[in-house]
Structure 1
Amino acid sequence: MNRKIKFEFLLCFSVLILFLLTGWVQAVNSIIPEETNLVADIVEKVGPSVVYVDTLSYKTYRNPLSPFFNDPFFRDFFDIFPQPEERRIPQKGLGSGFIFRSDGYILTNEHVIQGAEQIKVTLKDGREFDGKVIGSDPLTDIAIIKVDATDLPALPLGDSDRARVGEWMIAIGNPYGLSHTVTVGVLSAKGRPIYSGDSGREYENFLQTDAAINPGNSGGPLLNIKGEVIGINTAILPYAQGVGFAIPINMAKSLLDPLIETGKVVRSWVGIYLQDITPDMIQQFGLNEPKGALIADVVPNSPASRAGIQRGDIILKVDDEEIVNAAVFHAAIQDKKPGIQLTLSVWRDNQAKEITVILEELVTEGGVESALSPDLQFGFEVGEITSELTRKYNLRTKSGVVIIRIDSQEIIETGYLREGDVILQLNRQTIRDLQGWNAALTMVEPGDTIILLVNRRGRTFFVPVEVKSSSLLVP
């Protein structure tokens, strides 16, 4: 009897489950058609607006034998076998872009067109145009190219602030020269501060996506399922899978008019490096809560240094606006014009004081990096050897300074210097710490050729570095 009851129960339960599953499938089928081509429809619509950007630039390489050209001992030899002192080597680059105005205006990345002497823009239908850069902004890695054409298909620009994590994203570009490649993913995160994999610069507020982004995707659009541009694909993390980054389109939209009208974006700068206050810092700085923006460093000869701001000060207010972290400070001054006077309320020595700062224009003609950090004008940035950096780079020495960032593409390509290298000497002068490095640099003049002694994983070697126009370039 018990077996019969169990059998009937299982039979009824199975019928119930089958009924529920049948109803669920019918409900799904009533919502989603048998063939869902949403992504295909979007790609078909927006594809003609995505362009291929082909660039041609030239690198000047100095002949390694040039120091001997004027030597009397070798002069006769070089008269017989003449050698050029410098050679211009053509270098091709590729990237992506998209039309945002039908009268020939194209958005792309600044690093895609940086240094290009020739730009060729190819549309999906095969038409080719000569491109001209009418505006670029290295700080946001945005550039605008103009082609001589009208009635081009333009993409609508969406609202990246309203995009939600988890939304479907579509990336279109030309990775590795493979024209109009489509990848799909979701918006993984917002507000990511990263170092750009393509250019080496540091950026804030990036969109993160798991839609595949590879070299050549730079400058292409990141779209939502409405076909609106949410971001500009720009960076990858080397060796990472499913981690790509895009510039929020709202950031680009705010810069379009000044880039088109003047070719650049005028910004103010203070000349400070900031970091957030953490709970374990408040006791040391005499604070009651982890609020404010801690000044980690002050750039020499900057508005901040002239105003008397010091390393270790904590910014609590800008005028009457409370500053809870570094991001709020940047947002508070980003729209301020040069010449404006700000009153900063800072916390120093367990008491608040007010300091007046007059904003100045951030000059980018000589390179943004030279205005932001003294070390970046050399193509790399060095730091004090700390326990954290020792672990990160597996350092075997505690003396010297460690290269923590390389900003020069030429240095990256030659491989003479790498991130994690420790500089032990400059011109045979021993470098024990960051103070010694800065002191040694005061003896360097444009036109000098200096010698660095570098320690890499326990082995040392010398690297000659030629100083040109206050910039160090590895020959």
Structure 2
Amino acid sequence: MNTRQLLKVAVLTTVAAVSFSMPVKAQVNVTPEDYRVALSLQKVIESVAEKVRPAVVDITSVSTVKFQHPAIPPEFRDFFRQFGFPMPQFPDMPKEFERKSLGSGFIVKVKNGWAYILTNNHVIDKAKKIRVKLYNGDVYTAKVVGADPKTDVALIKIKVGNKKVPVAKLGDSDKIKIGELVIAIGNPYRLDGSVTHGIISAKGRHGLGLNPIENFIQTDAAINPGNSGGPLCDIYGNVIGINTAIVRNAQGLGFAVPINIAKKVMHDLLKYGKVIRGWLGVYIEDVSPDVAAKFGIKSGVIVTKVIKGSPASKAGLKSGDIIVTYNGEQVKGVSDLQLKVVNTRPGDRVRLGIIRNGERETITVKIGQMPQHEMIADALSTLGLSVQKLTPELKQKLGIPENISGLVVTDIKPGSPADDAGLQEGDVIVSAGTKPQNLKPVKSVEAFAKLVEKAKDSGVLLKVYRNGFSFFVVLKAEE
């Protein structure tokens, strides 16, 4: 390296040293007004936390899980059944153990010495003991007022006597907007009273497979295990949702049950002891985008069948009608119409905007109450099972002998109780009962669903026909 090159390096080094030693000049000018705005937002979040945190409770539920042996894959179960080998036994393993579930809740009402708490059904489901810890550290044993698995909402209560306890204020989830700031409060991983904030990412989320009735608020406010049952609040401290679910291994994907749905569930449980839902009585399918374009509509549902004697039938609704509005509101699809109907009080009259033979019409329907057999039949879906009556046509199609009758399994949800029991599509449920002594032929879906509901946690004993063999299984809800 010559003298000129050495000089050049020395100059560059000196310049670099001077540059690094000089103070960095801010490229963004922050004004006092900017700080005032930031501090205002900070104060809003502080205010919400101060208002709502005292009403948030920690819930620990204890349930008993029973089992006889480790889960055996269906293909191995079939092997043992078909060749008459006894199922493997594990006599040294415990028959049951206690499981604790952690969650959150919030006090919504105090009456006659009882404090009522909203939470998720899955937080207290099948619990034999529920412990509630208040924000001040007081611990109580809770009683279940009622629960609604369809919406994953539950109402429990604790005896507080004359003690004053804070109550959360409920808002109106129908008025929320996408992009609105929200604050989530709960007890993730037993970290009591944790506060996170974000925005409403979306509304009306459904088809997630979490609940039979879905209309979730989606938020990016951090929600973790233990947050379930806690409140999602607006900037005024009003509860607009119940934090319910997260997408595992994802960030910023949390879901909450709208508080208006929870308010209806709470009202019905307190007044009737059960949830009352409206019923229209139709089978429907989504209108495809191409069909919608031809009819000049944005969305809607097409009626594929009208149940005889139903409110829809009495109002004159026909197969082939396209329902486009419900009391003036656009029908966005099957889930949207179902939600509108079940949230309508039985006896209320609603206006359906329909398209029939290419012409727009409006018909008035008096919404009925969902029949008990319709509500009970939904129990089958929670077991991951779909069935239908075995007709002569199905017998011929599936190659089932003439002397076999009952219900044919049309769908099994992977990982469901029906799947765990070893049932498969094409199986025929020949007879069912709560024990061997009262096994009876299965003649209808409704009768089978009622038996499932009656058996509840004890399970239903099924005699099943498959490929020339008959065997027994017990179908029961997950522990």
- Relative to the length of structure 1, the TM-score reads 0.64
Q: 2:429 touches 2:465 (CA, 8 Å); kept in 1?
A: yes
Question: Does the 8 Å CA contact 2:68/2:90 hold for their aligned counterparts?
Answer: no
Whole-Å Cα distance in 1 between the matches of residues 429 and 140 of structure 2? 53
Task: Give the superposition deviation at 1:323.
Answer: 6.0
**Tell me, what secondary structure is at the counterpart of 1:164?**
coil
Cα 1:401–1:97 change in 2 (3 A) is same
The equivalent of 1:447 in structure 2 is: 461
Matches within 5 A, 1:281-360: 281-282=291-292, 287-295=295-303, 313-315=321-323, 324-326=331-333, 329-330=337-338, 333-334=341-342, 336-338=344-346, 359-360=367-368
Could you tell me which of 140, 143, 154 is aligned with 2:151?
140
Aligned length: 389
Using the size of structure 2 for normalisation, the TM-score is 0.64
1:39 aligns with 2:50: no
Q: 235-244 or 177-186: which moved more?
A: 177-186
Give the match for residue 142 of structure 2: 131
**Offset of 1:40 from its aligned partner?**
4.3
Alignment of 1:423-442 (within 5 A): 423=424, 425-426=426-427
Correspondence for 1:182: 195
Aligned to 1:51: 57
Determine which of 368, 379, 388 is the counterpart of 2:384. 379
Residue in 1 aligned with 2:238?
228
CA distance in 2, matches of 1:280, 1:246: 33
- Between the aligned residues of both structures, percent identity stands at 37
Structure 1 unaligned segments of length 5 or more: list them. 1-17, 65-73, 75-80, 384-399, 418-422, 430-437, 454-461
Q: Is the 8 A contact 1:379 1:473 kept in 2?
A: no
Question: Within 5 A, what are the aligned runs for 1:104-183?
Answer: 104-149=115-160, 150-183=163-196
Aligned AA for 1:264?
K
Residues 439 and 130 (structure 1), Cα distance of their counterparts in 2 relative to 1, 3 Å cut = closer
Q: Is 2:477 the partner of 1:466?
A: no
One-letter code aligned to 1:161: D
For 2:265 and 2:410, locate their aligned partners in 1 and report how far apart those are by CA, in whole Å. Answer: 38
**Cα distance change, pair 463–164 in 1 and its aligned pair in 2 (3 A):** farther
Q: What amino acid is aligned across from residue 121 of structure 1 in structure 2?
A: V
Contact 1:48 1:124 in 2 (8 A): yes
Indicate the SS of the match to 1:161: helix
Tell me whether 1:90 sits opposite 2:98 in the alignment. Answer: yes
| SS in structure 1 of the partner of residue 173 of structure 2 | coil
Give the whole-Å Cα distance in 1 for the aligned partners of 2:198 and 2:360. 48
Amino acid at match of 2:214: E
What does the per-residue CA deviation read over 1:443-465, in whole Å, with 9 as the maximum and x for residues that have no partner?
Answer: 99963243779xxxxxxxx9987
Of 21, 30, 33, 1:27 maps to 33
Give the superposition deviation at 1:169: 1.9
Q: Partners of 1:177 and 1:464 in 2: how far apart?
A: 46
C-alpha RMSD over aligned residues: 4.9
User: How many angstroms apart in 2 are the aligned matches of 1:303 and 1:325?
Assistant: 21
Deviates more, 1:103-112 or 1:306-315: 306-315
* CA distance in 2: counterparts of 1:474 and 1:148, whole angstroms: 30
Q: CA deviation at 1:182?
A: 2.6
Which residue does the alignment assign to 1:4? none
